Amino acid sequence: MSVRKRAWRGGPAVWYLAAAFTICAASAFADSRRSAGVAPPAGTESSPPKSLTAWLGSVGDTGGLSLAEATDIALKSNHDLRLAIKKAAAAGYDTDAARSLFFPQVSAEYGYDVRDREVEQEFGGQAVPLGEKEFQRGEIAARMTLWDFGRTLGAYRQAAGAEEAAAQVLQRVRQDVIYRTETAYFAVLETRRFRQVARAAVRQARDHLKTAESQYRNGVVTTSDVLRARANLARARQELIRADNAVSISESRFNNVLGVDIDRSVCIRDEEAHSRGLLSEGVREAFRCALRTAAENRPELKQMAALIRSARGGLMSSRGRFLPAIYISGKVDHLDDKYQVHKTTALAEIGLRIDLFTGGRDLAGWRKARVNVERAEEQAAKLLDLITLEVKQAVLYLDEALQKLDVAAAAAAYADSNLTLVNNMYGEGAATSTDVMDAELLRTSAFNDYVSALYDLQVAESRLRYATGVIGWGTVRQVVERQEEKR
């Protein structure tokens, strides 16, 4: 038996210790990776150039939905969440059905019978009538199992475990909806910013074309410079068309996640990242400890624990089928027949019932139940590996996003300064049209990289909260502070 499987059989506390150790190791690896990285030039860390700051002013809409408000809409309207709610409700009804077997089962029956003739018995050569040809009868019966060696109890535990598992699935689907809403929200903002950069590139290309035409009229440059400038403007316009389309697609996907009409106009606010400096000294240690909450808050872990209990309940129920069931029953009969002296009778019974031969059905059911327990334990071990990997990846992605933002900000500042310098040189005749267009492409690429890094950080934060099972609690920093308060 594997170590992970023994951990599951040993209870959740053992797993928590193993998971916390693995998660902290992942965060420590992220720390060492960050410390080995190349730092951006002094004074440029996570600080975009002034022109980029102006361009990347709010891309949100006045009075638009905040991220929290968009999440509330998704939690009310998302189809996946509604389906999960229905599934959890159905599992609850299965538990109610299993619980009913602990109570007496009461039934009633009524019949109007017609025979082909009266019932007669011959006595001394004469026919004596015993029953009417037509008569009515009624019966009320009750039956209750006193002991069946775990058959009923196991079935109830199986259903209760399945209900708890469905509740945890619902919780994870809720977290998934929040995560998808956040990523779709940031995708809309990101594509809008890409569109801003594309529009700025068109303006810059148009300005360069005017400069080239002016230089051409003054005899400073040749026709080739003007043609290059016009081709450059056409290319920039094509990029703007792609950016406009990307915005429309991202907004449609956002509406789809919210569960509303995909053609509805999207009106949202701008949101800022909350993770800048989160892995710095002081906060980093607290953040690493906060990652331990993955072992305590991932709904899948509670789901697998419930599924193991459910499978073990099924095994208990299947074993009970090899043993007798002890029961009590009683009934009251009424026969509306004029030949009956006592038309109403009562009967009480205590009995024992056992299936002596079922053709191998009960044995196959027991073997299947045992395999189901082993499969659930193996799935739990697999889930442990998967969650550990997801948490480690989330930590590393957040660390990468923070580093990329620093580098991208520096690159954008350099590219912006370079374009200003080249434009001045071109006006003085010291640079060519090709130099200007190369500088324009460099700045547009650098600004796009900065936008990507900015929203990669947003998504990385959401991904980490999703991986640790605390998405919906607030920002990563708020989660850290909450954990610190508990300690």
Please choose, from the candidates 118, 113, 112, the residue with its C-alpha nearest in 3D space to the C-alpha of residue 130: 118
Query: In the prediction, which pLDDT does 481 show?
Result: 57
In the chain, how many H helices and how many E strands?
13, 6
What's the mean pLDDT in 210-223? 88
Q: Where are the beta strands (DSSP E) in 63-115?
A: 105-114
Contact 374, 311 (CB under 8 A): no
Task: Report whether pLDDT(58) > 90.
Answer: no
Cβ–Cβ contacts within 10 Å for residue 446, how many? 25
Look at the block and give the residue holding tokens 């995708």: 187
**pLDDT tens figures, 447-457:** 999 999 989 98
Average pLDDT over residues 299-325: 93
Distances (CA, A) of 266 to 192, 256, 418: 12, 11, 36
Q: Mean pLDDT highest for which of 114-123, 145-154, 384-393?
A: 145-154
Instruction: Report pLDDT for 84.
Output: 92
The arithmetic mean of pLDDT across residues 31-60, rounded, is 51
In the prediction, which pLDDT does 277 show? Answer: 46
Angstrom distance (rounded) from CA 278 to CA 284:
6
Lowest-pLDDT range of 153-157, 166-170, 211-215: 211-215
Question: Using CA atoms, how far apart are residues 147 and 105, in angstroms rounded to an integer?
Answer: 15
Residue corresponding to tokens 């040809």: 133
**pLDDT surpassing 50 at residue 309:** yes
Q: Which residues fall within 8 angstroms of residue 466, CB to CB, at 6 or more apart?
A: 175, 176, 178, 179, 394
The tens digit of pLDDT for each residue in 336-357 reads 888 888 889 999 999 999 999 9
Report yes or no: 121 and 127 within 8 Å, Cβ to Cβ: yes
Percent of the chain whose predicted confidence (pLDDT) is above 90: 54
Residue 154 pLDDT > 90, yes or no?
yes
User: What CA–CA distance (Å, rounded) separates 59 from 268?
Assistant: 9
**Structural domains for the chain:** 3-105+150-324+363-486 (1.20.1600.10)
- Residue 102 is given by DSSP the state G
Contacts of the segment 214-221: beta carbons below 8 A, 24+ positions apart:
215/429, 220/429, 221/433
- CB 147 within 8 Å of CB 331: no
Q: Is the pLDDT of residue 40 over 90?
A: no
Token pair, residue 406, equals: 């620093």
Alpha-carbon span 232 to 444, nearest angstrom:
13
Would the pLDDT of 1 be above 80?
Answer: no
Residue 237 clears pLDDT 90, i.e. is over it: yes
Q: What is the pLDDT of residue 406?
A: 85
Cα(52)–Cα(416) distance, integer angstroms = 8
Report the distance separating Cα 16 and Cα 28, nearest Å.
18
What region does 429 belong to: left with phi over 0, alpha with psi -120 to 50, or beta? left
CA dist 185 and 268 (Å) reads 8
Mean pLDDT of 158-178: 94
Average pLDDT over residues 247-256: 95
Burial 109-147 (b: 16+ CB within 10 A, else e): eeeeeeeeeeeeeeeeeeeeeebbeebeeeeebeeebee
Q: Tell whether the model's pLDDT for residue 242 goes beyond 50.
A: yes
Distance of CA 416 to the CA centre of its chain: 41
Residue whose structure tokens are 């159905």: 90
Measured between alpha carbons, how far is 361 from 437 in angstroms, rounded to an integer?
Answer: 79
